[in-house]
Structure 1
């Protein structure tokens, strides 16, 4: 099989021919049909974060494909079934976090495309209990971005506690943001979309955003405050100044939900204002298996649209460069 491999941090990925992986106990093998390119893949390939993957490895945590081999102990999954393989490759299932519905906080978790090989390959392995069945009728190229971009923003809207008639700012309209706009609208919110490119702001309008804020020329916080301030801001732009602007645009009692992970990023919070305004600053990391099942249910019901473009796996380095230049409107989906 062919796979895109990180051999060394900061260097181009290498397309390699590798033997087909063999599933171990509790594992399945899938023939990958589509694999979304997430900014996390780029951070992984560059070794940007404090906890680093160990090269060589295959990135990709939005893999969708057909099960073509079963390891022992994989009841509930069938050959020929279409499944998605998310960031949460496996959790222990017995710690406090797992038992309380927060398996994404498990300290023993294994992350797809980071601590184990991921989906930027023709075939990949997954743990059967964490592979998510894809409902019939969902195109695998649409299911791929939903597997991370979808479930991550869906969870962020949940964590924000968004309610009807609230003002929600979505900062950064792209692979994640275009879905966050839709989930906030499904929750009944008035949505303010913040970005720095015309095409992404136009996409946000097309997907239901009520207010467009061009951060190149508008004072983001001032515009939000002119509308009463945001009840919640979902921070998706990989830029520290965007976090600060979203925070400043909150109303009293508002919530800043941090999702994007700029390399080495920090945010300075004014203690006085945070305390007196009753502001909440919350980190939100992907979503659980149940969250992903709900994301697929919403999409199967026609409630969401996935904006993507397909490219061959061989274009992975070119695609990474385009993402870093901001030239991708929403999501690149690689086809092995």
Structure 2
């Protein structure tokens, strides 16, 4: 099948600029690159952070389910920096990042660094799979890297895009799960996701409730509220861990909780190419589903706005066909 000479893409031309739809020339992939046709692309808060940054002009998004169209030469990580040598390739200090420092998936086609390309089974729905390359792998990989013994109590703060996946993953990994959110109406939803306990933070203290349950071996913070996250270290059992996946600054944590219980605070930077493949396969085997709202490529600004205003349940996805 012959490729078109041009394609449509949304671009951020400079820091703070709005998304602009443009027609771009389709070029052959270069050394270490692959050209893919985008089938679906998830939308994330990190795209907006990139839009406000200093990487433009660039096409946003680092999580697109695509079809391989053309392969460049010498497709083989930088491999030389300290983070790559530690096996954390997603934090490479030298390599460009798809959808951040180079063009991403808000487009009909995109040329990608081959090292960050993920194999996706052809029988999966691209729109349902795309968010697993970001939100999915973030919570899946973060939870498994904490190495919590199965059967332990894991608390998930927030039931949004990250949180509704975290509850499912933690349940399927063999943990007892307590979901924390505000509003009694969310209790049934939390139960449907697999949580054995729902804590309505608008009427009760999550820390006191988790302590009454014996303390959490792991608290996964997914909703970006410093006020809600800061007290949660006090809910940890001895040697418990607070995993912060929500992008929020200035969390205040008492060192007394950490010292007295031998507890710790962690973050985790999603994953490198193999980790999304693990997340996708685990999701398929265990029936983990990301709830999505679809938008055509032409409505990318509206899709971003709905996400930022918390109107979407639970991830916005751009679909090309």
Asked if structure 2 preserves the Cα contact closer than 8 Å seen for 1:135 and 1:300, the reply is no
Partner of 2:155: 169
CA contact (8 A) 1:194 1:201 kept: no
Deviates further, 36-45 or 237-246: 237-246
Compute the displacement of 1:199 (Å): 6.6
Gap regions ≥5 residues in structure 2: 1-6
Matched, 1:15 2:1: no
CA contact (8 A) 1:170 1:180 kept: yes
User: Is 1:219 the counterpart of 2:205 in the alignment?
Assistant: yes
Name 2:138's counterpart in structure 1: 152
Offset from partner CA, 1:248-298 (integer Å, 9 cap, x none)? 322222101111212xx1112222232112111112110122222211221
**Aligned position for 1:333:** 317
* Contact 1:117–1:124 under 8 Å retained in 2: yes
TM-score, normalising length: structure 2: 0.91
1:233 to 197, 212, 219: 219
| Correspondence for 2:4 | none
Q: Distance in 2 between matches of 1:331 and 1:298?
A: 19
Q: TM-score, normalised by structure 1?
A: 0.87
**For 1:318, which of 302, 310, 316 is the aligned residue?**
302
What aligned pairs does 1:241-320 form with structure 2 within 5 A after superposition?
241-262=227-248, 265-320=249-304
Q: Any idea what the Cα deviations from partners look like across 1:104-129, whole Å, max 9, x if unmatched?
A: 33222432211111111111111223
Report what 1:5 is aligned to. Answer: 11
Calculate the aligned-residue CA RMSD, in Å. Answer: 1.9
Distance 1:323 1:208 in 2: 24
Match of 1:156, SS state, is helix
Partner SS, residue 38 of structure 2: strand
2:17 counterpart of 1:33: no
Count of residues paired in the alignment: 314
User: Could you list the runs of 5+ residues in structure 1 that have no partner in the other structure?
Assistant: 48-52, 76-90
Does residue 80 of structure 2 align to residue 94 of structure 1?
Answer: yes
**Structure 1 position 302, deviation (Å):** 4.4
Change (3 A) 1:253 1:205: same
- Secondary structure (helix, strand or coil) at the match of 1:306 reads coil
* Structure 1 pair 29–199 and aligned structure 2 pair: CA distance change class (3 A): farther
Q: 1:300 to 1:144 in 2, by over 3 A?
A: same
With 183-192 and 207-216 compared, the bigger mean Cα shift is at: 207-216
**CA spacing shift, 1:21–1:227, aligned 2, 3 Å:** farther
